[in-house]
Structure 1
Amino acid sequence: MSRALLIIDVQNDFTEGGALGVDGGAAVAAAITRHLRSHPDLYDVVIASRDWHDEDNDNGGHFAKPDAEPDFVATWPPHCVAGTDGAEYHPAIDTGLIDIHVRKGQGVPAYSIFEGTTDDGRPLPAALDALGVTEVDVVGIATDYCVRASALDALGSGREVRVLRDLVAGVAAESSEAALHEIAQAGGRVEVAGRS
């Protein structure tokens, strides 16, 4: 039995000033690093995801067509394009504390870290199984989209899940609270990192 921290999409394009910047994203990036430094023995493995979209296509309809407005539900403006600064981790994240990097959304829409692959090409569930991970804490951006999807997939994979609500940032307060409620209803725990 081991415990993992899943850091979801703390990237430049999802923080203030980015293509899909979320208010509070930079503060969450810094808070995640502080959490890891303050609790060096809390996790057996730290895993971080990044959207890593292809530049030369619409990524399975995820990017709005050039002549169309994104609907911000199923279609989005271009973001986190592989190899760009927007796809990189926010500088407040200490990448030296990350053990496994996951890329998702390569040519297709992807919200959950469970849809991604590790740098060595393994699907995330296989990597978690190989490490014996039975418990995960989920943090990152955005509460109401990729954090939600990742936490629900972690629950669906049979793992115990906590979302650390002071280490997430969402697009909107109402939809973020709804996402946290949905996770709790599905069997996850929503807690504050400083009290865990």
Structure 2
Amino acid sequence: MSRALLIVDVQNDFTEGGALAVAGGDAVASAITAFLAAHAGDYRVIIASRDWHDPEGDNGGHFADAADFVDTWPAHCVAGTDGAEYDPLLETGAVTHHVRKGQGKPAYSMFEGVTDEDETVGAVLTASGVLDVDVVGIATDHCVRATALDAVAHGVRVRIVTDLIAGVGAESSAAALAELAHAGAELVESAQA
């Protein structure tokens, strides 16, 4: 049985000091690095995504000066800037595929992006015979949620590793985890993964 680890958007703009900082983002980056040191060999595929928005324009309505923080956001993760890079506390040496998403348009799920080889996440999982995925990263209530829902829709068994995620809000993160559990995802801690 092949397993994959999906690392969602552990980027400078989503960790402390970033344009859309999530409290606990740096701690999640460090914890994922420690988890990879112990468990990278358990996964056939390790995919890491990054928001990677165009430097010009509003990215299909994703960026707005008067952002509503639901459908529109301040500029973040602009291609070629430090904010778009992985958090330096995340060690990416074990990552087998890097995905960029959101070029010129809103994108929350890593399934909406492509690898450097122009492959979709779904295609990578299928080609690798992946039946089980573990999802970690930032933010529980946005991109982790969207990625996990798309993984469920892809037909694989999904586990959310709850001590390796960080969300924007406590209530919205709890609601996202409840929604994911109802969709069929399992909620586990890294000691169970």
TM-score, length basis structure 1: 0.97
Which structure 2 segments of 5+ residues have no match?
none
- State how far apart, in whole Å, the 1-side matches of 2:89 and 2:174 are: 25
The offset of 1:133, in angstroms, is 1.1
Q: Which amino acid aligns with 2:108?
A: Y
Aligned partner (choices 130, 154, 157) of residue 157 of structure 1: 154
Matched, 1:119 2:133: no
Match of 1:32 in 2: 32
- Cα distance in 1 for residues equivalent to 2:104 and 2:75: 12
1:71-112, Cα deviation, whole Å (9 max, x unpaired): 000000000000100000000111111110000001110000
Q: Deviations over 1:139-171 (max 9, x none)?
A: 000000000000000000101000000000000
- 1:1-196 to 2 correspondence within 5 Å? 1-64=1-64, 68-196=65-193
Q: Give the residue type in structure 1 aligned to 2:153.
A: G
How large is the Cα RMSD of the aligned pairs? 0.8
Q: Take 2:168 and 2:22, find their aligned partners in 1: how far apart are those partners?
A: 6
Q: Give the whole-Å Cα distance in 1 for the aligned partners of 2:159 and 2:167.
A: 17
State the one-letter code of the partner of 1:114.
Answer: F
Identity of aligned residues (%): 64
Structure 1 portions without partners, runs of 5+? none
Distance, in Å, in 2 between the alignment partners of 1:45 and 1:126 is 12
State the shift of 1:17 in Å: 0.5
- Three-state SS of the structure 1 residue aligned to 2:40 is coil
Local SS of the residue matching 1:75: coil
Partners of 1:146 and 1:40 in 2: CA distance: 22
Q: Distance in 1 between matches of 2:2 and 2:80?
A: 33
Give the whole-Å Cα distance in 2 for the aligned partners of 1:100 and 1:22: 24
